């Protein structure tokens, strides 16, 4: 291999400087080499990571559902970044060791279902590359096949028309190519082409994609990773990515002073704080007490801060008294929402990461419980029910396998039940349980898809029962409750006959879009009617962080008047993005 490979215009064009250095220092291929070593594989990983970064917003825009969620492109990017960070400082030339490090990083950093499936693909490939200091074309094809098989096995109910279809057809093509040629570039070219073809075919296999007029987002993300790896291998120049179709942030020129956006979210503030004796715990405590989604990490000399506040001057004024601040970013999230973006479109190391686990003094006897909660109020509810460790996370904040594993490890019990409370966290929870079990703890996942389901499961917990008995009883309890969620559409869509425009208030019943209305309150009553609340015993309303207590209680009074026979609870859930979460049982 000779000449130079992928020289970006500047290091800032890449996800991080280390990836840029790796890409710019590796020699290029003449397209006919028959094996690659660890350094070449590292270059390919860097290129796949960078190429996905260039296109992740395009992948995000393919999401079908109009709710604020952990977008596929971002989750896959975060997973690839974790993989890259395992090798960015390595000079390892053994391809099998590089592959193993990549797989381990992806596993621990996997976020969302798409990220977990990606990590399984990389894990399967690493297993196929064991004890191989260099990788041949046949090895590459075998690795892709093993990656596909591992991913399929990791999904309880595999669905075609998804990332699974794309990796399977890509692996098929790789094996056919390896049977007729020993050039790695030749095999990878056929792999990428097959992945592209498979992505385009996904709407024919998954009706929801056809109705929305899009291809599968996870499959498209995998295609960009494979295409980037091909470009890295062949030494091709990296063109500028296509502009994302997602709405741009609202500019001052677009603001109408007589029709300004409502103040719901405030400002996203991020900065670096420098000093010689910084008190990280004290800084974190101040941010938690004075803002939302406070994420503070660092040391005595440098601290990175992320917080949501309504007055951006407050955290900055506090910080300048502690030390020297740089890299200040202030984003008006209400302006972003008015432009059709979700407030968590401000993404970096911290703003996409869930909060640290919240330990509780009370535990459920000899069996520990870890629960994911989308807001501080809901976290308090889980803790009051005996949860030992609460991980902050939810629809827009998918915790990684590592973060869930840390919460499990923080408990002193050898037996733990994990409640993901979100369908897009379920696979990560299973990954964390598998890893914790491998390390010696017995961990079971109760597949709760909503916070109310998690609460219902906890009410079925029996101190005298075994881990297996409790897991079974808690899983059965999930079916006894209906969950309604009220939020605002972040993209236009037509699902099951409902036409949704950006900014519409929408309602989900058990994760299905079933209501559209002009106000959150209108959608609440629509959902309650669909949930047959009049036949239920208990109605619970959790109001979000954009709803004040007076408004929440006023809605509760209206519900009580309409459903006088039912027991009613109105609780501050403090969840972001979702005006109300309802449970009926």
pLDDT for residue 458 = 93
The top-scoring range by mean pLDDT among 19-28, 43-52, 58-67, 266-275 is 43-52
Query: Is 539 within 8 Å of 567 (Cβ atoms)?
Result: yes
Query: Is 431 within 8 Å of 398 (Cβ atoms)?
Result: no
Q: Smallest Cα–Cα separation from 262: which of 546, 521, 568, 524?
A: 546
Across 302-308, average pLDDT: 79
| 476-508: b (≥16 Cβ within 10 Å) or e | ebbeebbbbbbbbbbbebebeeeebebebbbbb
Across 289-306, average pLDDT: 75
Instruction: Let me know if 437 is exposed, middle or buried by CB neighbors in 10 A (0-12, 13-18, 19+).
Output: middle
Query: Is 53 within 8 Å of 15 (Cβ atoms)?
Result: yes
Of 36-50, 240-254, 433-447, 489-503, least confident by mean pLDDT is 240-254
Q: Provide, rounded to the nearest whole percent, the portion of the chain with pLDDT above 90.
A: 51
Residue 291 has pLDDT above 50, yes or no: yes
For 90-128, the pLDDT digits (tens) are 899 999 999 999 999 998 888 888 999 999 999 999 999
Query: Is 482 within 8 Å of 531 (Cβ atoms)?
Result: yes
For 373-400, the pLDDT digits (tens) are 988 889 889 988 889 889 987 766 788 8
The fold for domain 358-480 equals Rossmann fold (3.40.50)
For 230-276, the pLDDT digits (tens) are 999 987 654 443 333 333 333 444 456 666 766 767 888 888 888 88
Of 35-49, 134-148, 188-202, 252-266, least confident by mean pLDDT is 252-266
Across 284-297, average pLDDT: 80
Q: What's the whole-model pTM score?
A: 0.68
pLDDT for residue 345 = 37
**Assigned token pair, 315:** 């955290």
pLDDT for residue 29 = 41
Across 516-539, average pLDDT: 94
Domain 11-234, what architecture? Alpha Horseshoe (1.25)
pLDDT for residue 67 = 67
CATH class entry, domain 482-584: alpha beta
Q: Which residue has the higher pLDDT, 20 or 485?
A: 485
The fold for domain 263-345 equals Alpha-Beta Plaits (3.30.70)
Residue spans of the domains in the chain: they are 11-234, 263-345, 358-480, 482-584
| Pairwise CA distance, residues 532 & 535, whole Å | 6
**Assigned token pair, 421:** 């409370």
For 55-88, the pLDDT digits (tens) are 988 898 887 766 665 578 888 999 999 999 999 8
Q: Provide, rounded to the nearest whole percent, the portion of the chain with pLDDT above 70.
A: 82
Starting at the earlier edge strand, list the strands of the sheet with 267-274.
292-298, 302-309, 267-274, 324-332
């Amino acid at each position: 291999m000779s000449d130079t490979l992928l020289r970006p215009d500047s290091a800032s064009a890449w996800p991080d400087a280390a990836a840029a250095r790796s890409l710019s220092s590796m020699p290029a291929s003449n397209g006919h080499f028959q094996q690659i070593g660890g350094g070449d594989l590292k270059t390919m990983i860097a290129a796949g990571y960078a190429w996905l970064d260039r296109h992740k917003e395009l992948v995000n825009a393919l999401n079908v559902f109009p709710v604020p969620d952990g977008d596929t492109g971002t989750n896959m990017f975060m997973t690839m970044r974790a993989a890259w960070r395992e090798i960015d400082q390595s000079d390892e030339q053994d391809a099998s060791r590089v592959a193993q490090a990549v797989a381990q990083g992806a596993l621990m950093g996997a976020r969302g279902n798409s990220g977990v499936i990606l990590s399984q693909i990389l894990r399967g490939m690493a297993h196929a590359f064991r004890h191989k200091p260099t990788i041949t074309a046949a090895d590459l094809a075998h690795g892709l096949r093993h990656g596909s098989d591992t991913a399929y096995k990791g999904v309880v109910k595999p669905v075609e028309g998804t990332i699974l279809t794309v990796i399977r057809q890509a692996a098929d093509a790789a094996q056919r190519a390896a049977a007729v040629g020993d050039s790695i570039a030749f095999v990878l070219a056929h792999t990428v082409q097959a992945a592209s073809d498979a992505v385009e075919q996904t709407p024919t296999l998954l009706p929801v994609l056809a109705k929305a007029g899009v291809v599968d987002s996870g499959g498209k993300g995998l295609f960009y990773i494979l295409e980037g790896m091909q470009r890295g291998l062949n030494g091709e120049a990296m063109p500028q990515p296509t502009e994302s179709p997602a709405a741009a942030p609202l500019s001052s020129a677009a603001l109408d002073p007589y029709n300004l956006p409502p103040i719901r979210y405030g400002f996203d503030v991020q900065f670096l704080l420098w000093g010689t004796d910084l008190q990280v715990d004290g800084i974190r405590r101040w941010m938690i007490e004075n803002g939302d989604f406070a994420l503070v990490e660092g040391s005595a000399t440098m601290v990175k801060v992320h917080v949501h506040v309504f007055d951006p001057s407050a955290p900055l004024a506090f910080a300048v008294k502690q030390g020297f601040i740089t890299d200040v970013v202030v984003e008006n999230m209400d302006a972003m929402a008015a432009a059709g973006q979700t407030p968590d479109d401000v993404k970096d190391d911290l703003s996409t990461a869930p909060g640290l686990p919240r330990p509780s003094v009370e535990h459920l006897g000899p069996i520990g419980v870890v629960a994911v909660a989308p807001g501080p109020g809901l976290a308090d509810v889980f803790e009051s029910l005996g949860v030992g460790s609460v991980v902050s996370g939810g629809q827009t904040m998918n915790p990684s396998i590592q973060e869930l594993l840390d919460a499990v490890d923080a408990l002193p019990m050898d037996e733990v039940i994990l409640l993901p409370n979100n369908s897009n966290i379920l696979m990560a929870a299973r990954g964390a349980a598998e890893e914790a079990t491998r390390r010696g703890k017995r961990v079971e996942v109760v597949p709760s898809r909503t916070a109310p389901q998690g609460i219902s499961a906890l009410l079925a917990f029996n101190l005298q029962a075994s881990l297996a008995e409790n897991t079974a009883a808690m899983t059965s309890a999930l079916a006894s409750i209906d969950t309604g969620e009220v939020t605002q559409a972040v993209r236009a869509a037509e699902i099951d006959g409902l036409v949704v425009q950006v900014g519409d208030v929408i309602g989900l019943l058990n994760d299905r879009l079933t209501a559209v209305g002009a106000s959150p309150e209108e959608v609440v009553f629509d959902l309650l009617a669909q949930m047959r609340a009049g036949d239920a015993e208990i109605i619970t309303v959790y109001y979000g962080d954009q709803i004040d207590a007076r408004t929440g209680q006023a809605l509760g009074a209206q519900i009580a008047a309409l459903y006088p026979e039912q027991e009613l609870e109105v609780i501050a859930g403090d969840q972001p993005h979702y005006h109300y979460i309802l449970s009926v049982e």
